[in-house]
Chain A
Amino acid sequence: ERRCSSLQHKSAPFSCVTGQKQTFSHENWFLSPEEYETWDRLYRIKESDGIKEPVLPRTQFETLENLEEIPQEGAARELSLCEWSLWQSRPFPTALVGHSEPCHHFISAMEMMEHMRQEQGDCSYGRELQPHLCVEDVNIPRNKRHLRMAKS
């Protein structure tokens, strides 16, 4: 448990800010009075700051029953993951942590969508794959079978 709490301290932003006089003397998970004062003065968002509290969007499923409650906070600023989508078709710089495989998949998908943006009507992706479709690989619903045949 001891190691765990010291890790907690190291990952806290204060270990960097108050570098010189940093002592790991206090064994608490909570901020010391000095740390609290620094947090309150420099980082804490107050009403007088005139900025909204940042919150992350909550997961919500369109097709499932949602168990987590979504608080309706009008006063908060929800951090957007799609506002800068135009920037996301190439890898952003990294510091210590490289891009993961899923991250690269995401970038490629954004790149692909960028390419398809200009397309009208017919889709190059579908055209390219069409000849490779094997009927035994897919499940054609009985009631839809004639419908899809008519459509394609």
Chain B
Amino acid sequence: MAAAGDGERLLLTQRLKAAVHYTVGCLCQEVEEDKDIGFSKQSIAAISEITFRQCETFARDLEMFARHAKRSTINTEDVKLLARRSSSLLKYITQKSDELASSNLEQKEKKKKKSSAAKGERTPGEKEAAVTENEDSNMS
């Protein structure tokens, strides 16, 4: 039973590693075209193995950060904490996170408009509730 579980786990690991390896290959190809250099297959393999292992470190840290904030769900604030050591990296990640938050907000707004158009006009109280809800989601 345990052996079968281990085997399954190994297969899942291999599958994930293969996906990371392929994706790293694609990203390296972009860099190749951009910088006019070449990566050996071995260097791509090394980068993907490092990436795979880094994910383990990230996952563990994210879990701890969330737990530190008494949450069981990892959110964008935890991801920002991963980048805390470098202000350049932190700025980049924060920017991406803000972009994501605002596009999420836009989509929600669109959905709301659609649904409110279907239901007819909202009462002022309902409108206010919708605004505070949006502000909350913007905060997280």
A27 sits at the interface (CB 8 A): no
CB of A112 within 8 A of CB of B18, answer no
* A139 contact set on B, CB distance < 8 A: 23
Interface size on B, residues (CB 8 A): 33
- Interface secondary structure of B, over-half rule: helix
B18 touches A132 (CB 8 A): yes
Q: Which of B9-25 contact A (CB under 8 A)?
A: 11, 14-19, 21-23
Asked if A133 and B22 sit within 8 Å, CB to CB, the answer is: yes
B54 close to A105 (CB less than 8 A): yes
Contact (Cβ within 8 A) B22 A123:
no
Are B17 and A129 in contact (CB-based, < 8 A)? yes
Bound: A105/B51 CA distance, A = 10
A101 within 8 A of B: yes
Q: Judging by beta carbons under 8 Å apart, are B91 and A67 in contact?
A: yes
Least distance between A51 CB and chain B CB atoms (Å): 29
How far does the Cβ of A101 sit from chain B's closest Cβ, in whole Å?
Answer: 7
B88 touches A67 (CB 8 A): yes
A19 at the interface (CB under 8 A from B): no
- Does B86 sit within 8 A of A, measured CB to CB? yes
Q: In the docked arrangement, what's the CA distance between A112 and B17, Å? A: 15
The CB with the most chain A CB atoms within 10 A, among B60, B86, B87, B92, is that of: B86
Quick check: is A2 within 8 A (CB to CB) of the other chain? no
Q: Is B105 close to A, CB under 8 A?
A: no
Q: A residues within 8 A CB of B44?
A: 123, 126
Give 11 A-B pairs besides A68-B88, A105-B57, A123-B41 with Cβ atoms closer than 8 angstroms.
A102-B57, A105-B56, A117-B42, A121-B41, A126-B45, A129-B17, A131-B18, A132-B11, A132-B18, A134-B19, A140-B26
